[in-house]
Amino acid sequence: MARTYAGRKKIENKNIKNERSLSVTFAKQHPSVIKKVNELSTLCGVQSAVIIFSPNEKYVYSFGDPSPEVLVSGYLEHYSGAQSSKTSAWVEQFQNPQAEIFNTQLNNMLARLESEQNITEKLKKTKKENQEKSWYNAPIENLGIEELTVLKNATLEVKKQADCCSMPSIKPVLPSPKIFER
């Protein structure tokens, strides 16, 4: 007998009566709820928190961006109108170190950017100076009469120095080999 499958059939949204099915469904679904809250806070840049109690109320799962405690205390502070020193301490404890870390990273990156820009400017200036100085490396067809004359004189000077400093031919130290016949 062929077995029929439900596939991606839409499940009716109602309480599950069977305790085992309930715990299995909870175990499969609660990580995806936390994942969705994390995605929402990351993509939209919002502060969000979720607190999930297991069906048997044995475990409590919480997730928050920045943290559930900070968000709940901020919510209570905002809507109750009371400014408690404890909740302010929680908020400051989270926000100040993060802001300092981000400011430090930003300052380091700006300093690196500035030094890289200075190095780039110096390299461009050096490259331009070297191109102006190395006219003698240009093709001969592109040189003018004055430059050709200077190049000729420099070449003759190098040849003269090479001729005067050249070593005389070296004579072999060992006697030439003789062939012996028997």
Query: 19-65: which CATH architecture?
Result: 3-Layer(aba) Sandwich (3.40)
Instruction: Judge residue 145's burial from the number of C-beta atoms within 10 Å of its C-beta, 0-12 exposed, 13-18 middle, 19 or more buried.
Output: exposed
- What pLDDT does 92 receive? 64
Top-confidence residue, 83 or 15: 15
Mean pLDDT, rounded, of the chain: 79
pLDDT > 90? residue 96: no
Least-confidence region, from 51-60, 107-116, 118-127? 51-60
pTM here is: 0.37
- What pLDDT does 123 receive? 92
In terms of C-beta distances under 8 Å and separation of at least 24 residues, what long-range contacts does 35-38 make, across chains too? 37/63, 37/65, 38/63, 38/65
Dist. CA 14–CA 27, nearest whole Å = 17
| Mean pLDDT, residues 85-97 | 61
Top-confidence residue, 15 or 79: 15
- What pLDDT does 104 receive? 84
| Mean pLDDT, residues 149-154 | 86
Which of 64, 126, 178 has the alpha carbon at shortest distance from 75?
64
CA distances (Å), origin 180, targets 6, 173, 174, 177: 105, 21, 17, 10
- What pLDDT does 115 receive? 92
- List, for residues 119-151, the tens digit of each pLDDT value: 999 999 988 887 766 666 667 777 788 888 888
Q: At what angle do helices 85-133 and 68-80 cross, to 10 degrees?
A: 120
List, in order, residues 6 or more apart from 72 with CB less than 8 Å away. Answer: 49
Question: Domain boundaries in the chain?
Answer: 19-65
